[in-house]
Amino acid sequence: MNELPPLPNRAIDTRLCPLCGQSNQCANEVERATGVPQGPCWCTTAVFTTELLERVPVEARRMACICARCAATASQGAAVGS
């Protein structure tokens, strides 16, 4: 039986949240794209639950940032579940 070839990896857009596809507003990516120095990224004070990080597709891990909305939603869900 012939196996199908693997699907090609789709390119990871580092400007988009890997969970919802919206802009992640990553200060590092804005600086990289514009050359304009940015302040600290919003994510330096955000809480990322283990459950949230595990939802990121393997190919996007450590490549694209989760957006503030997804982080906040997961954080609220964790607080409710506590």
Selection from 68, 38, 70, 28 nearest residue 52 by Cα: 70
Q: Cα separation of 42 and 73, whole Å?
A: 15
- Expressed as residue numbers, the domain containing 48 is 44-82
Q: Judge whether 27 lies within some domain.
A: no
* pTM of model > 0.75: no
Confidence check: pLDDT of 2 > 90 = no
pLDDT bin (cut points 50, 70, 90) of residue 47 is confident
For the chain, what is the domain count?
1
Please compute, for residue 80, the number of CA atoms within 13 A of its CA located in the half-sphere on the CB side.
6
Q: Cα separation of 27 and 8, whole Å?
A: 29
Burial (0-12, 13-18, 19+ Cβ within 10 Å), 2:
exposed
Confidence check: pLDDT of 78 > 80 = no
